[in-house]
Structure 1
């Protein structure tokens, strides 16, 4: 496993670029992105965009030296495309004009990803630290790009960023566990599982903070519509046939898929698990490769204690329960549409994942004697 995963989780190796320093000819996108919330309040936003000259990304291949600004270019274009299709004050449209479609598809081809704003562009590449020496944590973070002026959207994004930063502890533990599993070193593997469960508990505490600065009524009607999936959208100048793409969703995060791959957690094959597999297409290619590496590791089930193994599964289920609760109060209670921003029947899907995660627990290692005597053995029972 590359060391940057164990230090940064699924966040980029370097803090995201906030402006185009290497390619100053793209600086108009910084201005356009910064004014996007105000522009979206105007009825002629779409007319403005069609008249705008969007500079093309100046390279045709992926180069590590310009990767940070390439991702920023994708963020700017991804936000503009979703804003154009889903402008809240106007009827939804199904044609992305060539001024956006052509450069967006170009950058997404280089990044080897579908041409729509996904979780990586909305969260993983969309933050900066107020104090560069401080932690990647709430209170020291700000977003780079937003759809609306409201603090609620900033908070929503940045909660996810801190959760992703904590994932470095999970990946570091998985990395330490691999040689222990190959060598059947149960004690070391147990320590790694304990660290994973502890990190998951930290992530759950951060996820519980969502209501501190995000109001359900505003989330549902002000910025959630902008991260909705594209349904039968034509990309002018790129493709003749309308296309469908999943919108931004936390299900595109690589954290839970990494844990499921490590724990060898199998879900019942349904249309929901087909959706789950399809969502991987929207993850960065390096994340997809890491998931394959983790899947190839030995299972921890055989050489770890049931208690430590089950603690990880319970921590995963607890995190998902909090997510389920927010999905219910922020979305489900406010709409009749059973589909989430990724296009999936999210409530049914989330419940299935919670139930099947707990169902994968191992039987306790305690004997029937321990159960009836409280762990004191037969001598304790007769005293």
Structure 2
């Protein structure tokens, strides 16, 4: 098994929670901790422009916990700066943020904006290291607002990703035993069980997250960048997708494994683009899965259909939360990634169930 993916798409080590004492990077910890309070003030942008953030020189060390923490802190600060609630629209990221953010994102081979990996995959800690990565034993490292609702939103995704580790491991075993019918079906059973656990966690969203607070208080901070100029890096205004669960690699991996045929639409094109915002090793695994031959002819009917049904149920719950947390507040909903998603979500559900073996 690929050790880098031993926890599914979460990092193999717990994320770093702070930079070493006395390090110049401690400034990022300080500003990161203060960010939810700073964003309540009218002069937040002016204040954030006053800092000299140190550059990250990775040397030969790629994808280290401290490197990820650097990206998380800078990504949050940059998105807070551009998308600050209650202020006029902002279309220029100042040089003191633009240059280090573009540098670290170039090293990580990703677009220069906070994405799902920085918002969720690298943004958690365990209270008790002897206990699992799951709700009740985890908290966030960085937030935009002083509301536990945002912690909960992030942590539900972290728990889902941990539950998906069995899915990722099973997919890797299928890759290694692609001609072994028994192995394929054994692993499909594991995937179905793992998906059922993910569905159970996703259902918990309303426990500690208010629809009003989500929509008004912190969702705006993870929206896309529209016509933003990165001062000192490039002169042309550019657009980047905002943080979204569509940047998780779980569902794309399953769609690729099962070869679920989704009719081309603006949403499928959007989902394809989401790969550019995933960590490189996740993109590489997706490419490997796509190259596999179809497993449908080798699969037991009940197991193959059960996996499809669990995927459909996961998407249905997501659809229901989108209705409750977004659609109830706006006439023409657009996702944080920038796409009008609702009209296509049901298509994905129907096409998933339509691929069952009859």
TM-score class, shorter = over 0.9
Shift of 1:180: 4.0
- Which residue is equivalent to 2:308? 313
- Which residue is equivalent to 2:44? 45
- Which residue is equivalent to 1:369? none
User: Pick from 224, 238, 241: which aligns with 1:243?
Assistant: 238
- Which residue is equivalent to 2:174? 177
Shift of 1:90: 1.0
Query: Within 5 Å, which residues of 2 pair with 1:10-29?
Result: 10-21=9-20, 24-29=23-28
Question: Is structure 2 residue 68 aligned with structure 1 residue 71?
Answer: yes
Q: Size of the alignment, in residue pairs?
A: 358
2:176 and 2:52 mapped to 1: Cα distance? 53
2:264 and 2:104 mapped to 1: Cα distance? 34
Unmatched tracts of structure 1, length 5 or more? 364-383
Question: Is structure 2 residue 189 aligned with structure 1 residue 194?
Answer: yes
RMSD of Structure 2 on Structure 1 (CA) = 1.4
Secondary structure class of the residue paired with 1:232: strand
Question: Is structure 2 residue 30 aligned with structure 1 residue 35?
Answer: no
2:78 and 2:170 mapped to 1: Cα distance? 38
Cα-to-partner distance string for 1:299-328 (whole Å, 9 max, x where unaligned): 220111121111101100000000000011
Secondary structure class of the residue paired with 1:298: coil
Secondary structure class of the residue paired with 1:36: helix
Cα-to-partner distance string for 1:98-142 (whole Å, 9 max, x where unaligned): 111111000000000000000000000000000011100000001
Secondary structure class of the residue paired with 1:234: strand
Mark the CA change 1:340 to 1:307 in structure 2 (over 3 Å): closer, same or farther: same
Query: Within 5 Å, which residues of 2 pair with 1:216-295?
Result: 216-295=211-290
2:305 and 2:170 mapped to 1: Cα distance? 16
Cα-to-partner distance string for 1:317-369 (whole Å, 9 max, x where unaligned): 00000000001100011112321000111212211211111111111xxxxxx
- Which residue is equivalent to 1:381? none
Contact kept, 8 Å, 1:10 with 1:124, in 2: the verdict is yes
- Which residue is equivalent to 2:7? 8
Shift of 1:267: 0.9
Secondary structure class of the residue paired with 2:263: coil
Mark the CA change 1:22 to 1:285 in structure 2 (over 3 Å): closer, same or farther: farther
- Looking at CA atoms only, which structure, 1 or 2, has the larger radius of gyration? 1
Contact kept, 8 Å, 2:83 with 2:220, in 1: the verdict is yes
2:344 and 2:112 mapped to 1: Cα distance? 25
Q: Which moved more, 1:66-75 or 1:141-150?
A: 66-75
Q: Which moved more, 1:90-99 or 1:214-223?
A: 90-99
Secondary structure class of the residue paired with 2:64: helix
2:176 and 2:101 mapped to 1: Cα distance? 42
Shift of 1:293: 1.2
- Which residue is equivalent to 1:98? 95
1:362 and 1:165 mapped to 2: Cα distance? 29
- Which residue is equivalent to 2:105? 108
Secondary structure class of the residue paired with 2:24: helix
- Which residue is equivalent to 2:163? 166
1:115 and 1:3 mapped to 2: Cα distance? 27
Unmatched tracts of structure 2, length 5 or more? none
- Which residue is equivalent to 2:333? 338
Question: Is structure 2 residue 198 aligned with structure 1 residue 203?
Answer: yes
Contact kept, 8 Å, 1:181 with 1:299, in 2: the verdict is no
Per the normalisation by structure 1, the TM-score is: 0.91
Question: Is structure 2 residue 51 aligned with structure 1 residue 55?
Answer: no
Cα-to-partner distance string for 1:271-303 (whole Å, 9 max, x where unaligned): 221111111000001100011111222322011
1:295 and 1:361 mapped to 2: Cα distance? 19
Shift of 1:53: 1.6
Contact kept, 8 Å, 2:326 with 2:333, in 1: the verdict is no
Contact kept, 8 Å, 1:53 with 1:99, in 2: the verdict is yes
1:330 and 1:46 mapped to 2: Cα distance? 28
Question: Is structure 2 residue 139 aligned with structure 1 residue 153?
Answer: no
Mark the CA change 1:285 to 1:230 in structure 2 (over 3 Å): closer, same or farther: same
Shift of 1:14: 0.6
